[in-house]
Amino acid sequence: MKAMTMLPKGQFDIGDMPRFGLSQFADRFPAQTQGPELQVSGDVRQKITIGTELSELPQTQVVADFHCVTTWSSLNLKWEGVLFKDVFEHLVQPLGMPDKQARFVILRGQDGAKTSLPLDDLLKSNVILATRMNDERLTMAHGAPLRLVAPDHYGYKSIKYLNRMSLHVENPGYRPSGFRFMEHPRARVSFEERGQFFPGWFLRYSYRPLIKPTAKLFANAAELHSGKNR
């Protein structure tokens, strides 16, 4: 008998993972898809761009559930790539020489989306810069060519099309992609940190009616984009 997965508070199993996000990003797609390229800036001695170096680091797998803040979950996803910790320790630190007090990280995708996390959260052993998902190359729908995956945090922290990262000693006036209440500084699933100013249980009921129309919006945009590029 298959063991039942214990879902976090307020989550339900949606099955296959849909293309999803804030509605303003539905028709935005990455311009550069040939290979991962990550620019590193902020409170660093040297700005750097990481590309082929990623393939020279140890490749690893992370199997984890993905929890969207809107209450859906997709279970037992297998991500393959390099651990953020390895990228930071073997590339960012020796080449970029970030300030030792830098603890605030802003992450940006090619589509213009952005998010942030404390560096300590990103250095956990299950945070990966993924190039593959479920034994296949990462697709455009799920963030190719490079996606940050932070399983302990709601999905909006796992930014798609990752191409820029900046490290800061202090918050440089970061503003989230959506309304401020929609992004928690850490967004830990285990604490139901769905957003700010409102309790997590309240946001469940605000977000859940948006799931089907948002998934349809993103699917239609992807189909239109695919048709234009045939």
Distance of alpha carbon 219 from alpha carbon 230, whole angstroms: 17
CATH number, domain 33-63+79-196: 3.90.420.10
Cα distances (angstroms) measured from residue 123 to each of 3, 39, 119: 30, 18, 6
Query: pLDDT tens across 43-93, in order?
Result: 999 999 999 999 999 999 999 999 999 999 999 999 999 999 999 999 999
Q: Exposed, middle or buried: residue 52 (CB in 10 Å: 0-12, 13-18, 19+)? A: exposed
Residue 3 in this model has a pLDDT that exceeds 70 = no
* Distance (Å, whole) CA 49 – CA 148: 16
Under DSSP, the state recorded for 220 is H
- Residue 7 has, within 13 A of its CA and on its CB side, a CA count of 15
> Which residue's structure tokens are 């393959």?
80
Q: Strands 72-83, 12-13: parallel, antiparallel or unpaired by DSSP? A: parallel
Sequence ranges of the domains in the chain: 33-63+79-196
| pLDDT range class, residue 152, cuts 50, 70, 90 | very high
Reported pTM: 0.93
Phi, psi for 214 (deg, rounded to 5): -70, -45
